[in-house]
Structure 1
Amino acid sequence: MTASVTDRFLRYVVIDTQSDAKSQTQPSTEKQKNLGRLLVEELLEIGVSDAHLDEHGYVYATIPSNTAKNNVPVICFCAHMDTAPDFSGTNVKPHIVRSYQGGDIKLPGDSNQVIRVAEHPVLKDLIGHDIVTSDGTTLLGADDKAGLAEIMTAAEVLINNPDIKHGTIRILFTTDEEIGRGVDKVDLGKLGADFGYTLDGETAGTIEDETFSADGVEIQIKGVAIHPGFAYGKMENAIKIAGAIIDKLPMDLAPETTKGRQGFIHPVGVSGVMEKATLSFIIRDFTEEGLKSKEALLESITQETMKRYPGSSYTFTVKEQYRNMKVVLDQHPQIVDYAVEAISRAGMTPVRGSIRGGTDGSRLSFMGLPCANLFAGGHAFHSPLEFVSSQDMDSAVKTIVELAKLWEERA
């Protein structure tokens, strides 16, 4: 299966599908539909007769049940088509290191871009693998085109091998996951699934049932504007107020100083003029309590800062983004239990993990489709150092097939 999944992956990564947070459309970029159309074409070719692209850029498809059992839950496999806006995804030139023998990997398009073993120790586990990278001038797009290729390949395996018994399998490919809108327009009634799995994780063998809980915070500051020649004792510069708030943020609650189950307060945008300024933050924690305490801390910092500027005012707006999917998944333990067994059957040691981030599955879980996250095999996402092993993608294909079998066996 390696050639098949890798060939698919190489076809997909050269199609530019970056999403754009500034756009108000769905999908945020029309070019995401270019990949969607190709995926539909390929699904139809392998015999998935209802595959189609909707107006929002989503791909829906069904692999019909081939079992006599009528009580097998409908399982959805999901991946996203867009790539992150963090680094260029235009004119991707994939590069394959065949039978990797260890050591740092210097990328051919930019000699300054080196995938170092010291920074990516997982490379020690990939000796003998075929490793796909970009040329170093763009990201690769393994996040999440590896997931797309794996689901597509597994679909072909299931269709071509009717002796593998399974219930109804639903396929969902989404747009705009990287900008937090991946499931905004998903029609769960149309999807008709009971449980799901996103293929959007990293290291082979990993099953993730926990994400951050996430909020966004926007602080609007209204200062006191006046001609600088007459400003003594009167001016309150909104830009300086914004800077003072940022300066008071605790150093030990930043993304760069936290790991594991630690959350953070992270400024992601600042704009302004003397009269008004806007600060944008993302707040992350694994618990609702931790999230609220960080928001309270940020507002306290803002209030303390504003005391120095009696003529100025502010607004503090919190917007919910997503919540820890573990709350939902704990009510359906078989989702993770079956994944653990499927990974074992596919020849790997299962590892349960938590995501310092979110997936489409986070929001799908709270929308009514409990959804865990499986590995797709990629590493160093959102950067020109992104890479993925062909053999790990192959293992993901086997895991999907084993999951389809397990849900049928246990029904």
Structure 2
Amino acid sequence: MASLPPFPPHFGPSLAPTPVVPPLTLAPLTRPPSVTPPSQPTRPALFAPPGYVRSVHACPAAYPRMYEGTLSRSSYPYSSIPETETKEARAARLEKDKVACAEQAREAAKTEGAGWKTNSGEGLWLSVERWRREDPVEGGVTLLMLHANGMLKEDYHPLLESLFASSPTVQFGTHILSSTAAVVVNEVFFLEDSLHGTSVDLNAGRLPPLHSWADGARDVLNFLSHCAPAFDEEVGWALEWRERASPRKVFAVGHSLGGNMAVHAAAAVPGLFEGLFLVEPMTQPTGGNNSPAMNYHVQAITLKRRDTWPSLDAAKTMRTNPMFSKFPDSIFDLWLSHGVVPKNNGELTLTTPPWCEAVVFSDCRSPQRGWDLLPSLNMPVGFVMSKDAQWMGGEKIARELTSRPPRARNERTTAGHLAVQEDPMGVGEALGRFLATVRGGVWDKGASKL
């Protein structure tokens, strides 16, 4: 990973004293209403690294939820879209839609937490991928991968291949030589948000027009506490919801939205987490979704995104798109195989509809609430921050952010906010340093940081 010096510790008063926003108590988890998920959607086959067995599953989402709905991938919860539309008319419509999307969420935030919906019909489901080591090693770790908004859970594959090949030589966040060995990964779970990718298929006809990142955190807790299979347990397509006395303990790897979910979940039930590895987590106090200007901006960008192509060859032309041009071939190939799916008319469309991504961006308070929760984290927390702190609210905020957890270290990459996609090899190596430093027993040894 091409890197910059880590942020030095932040001293003095906070730039945004807690609480930035009112706290939210997560609703208790109860048994979901659904026992049988939809059938498994068709996706191209992917392969785990040598020595691992890959499987895919449907997991009951946390229940009850803050919001419920009746939408599907082909839905559009704002103005109707005419069959033919001029460029000017489309721009005017999207201008109204971005405001409607943002304001709907801001209005809902006024009664946030007043009561989680019981969803008297079917519950929601999450798509889960599992890698299990064929020859487990005593003391090996379990990883839980949580993706960014609008990104694929499968994007973590190249990063993990880099992790498995890494041989850490220095401690995470320092230039101190490491005497610790690489950590063996026994198992990996990839958890997909309810409004993303394959989960969109599983929840067709039940997607809500609003989304709470708090429910995403509850999905994490629900999976670890009630649905994650034991290592030696063979499971089929549907993961069973069970009362469990000894839930799984994991290292959570969270990027952007996924980092926020990891923070919320670990603050609520810290005993489930051995450590957090956070890449540009959306846990900032300013400049985020609580700002009307920022809220409208991200909605506008997301809703106008192209979402349909007549063929796979046409979709391949996205390689020159400014965002995709920064991705290595391994990530772009995953987008071609899992980021688009066929429509009934033979065209291809995004697996995560732009309106779903916009709905997730519209959560008004969760980034700020993540900031408020960071000091409560009592486990090792490793941050990977980008060279440009614009998504964090500026460099001063980013520096304090990486010092708020009491047991935090950080590294900085020259990649951007989408570091997982832009530099999977470098971030994978950083994850290797993080795991080795924690498991090597030197995380809290007082190593000086650059």
Q: TM-score, normalised by structure 1?
A: 0.34
Higher strand share: 1
Larger radius of gyration: 1
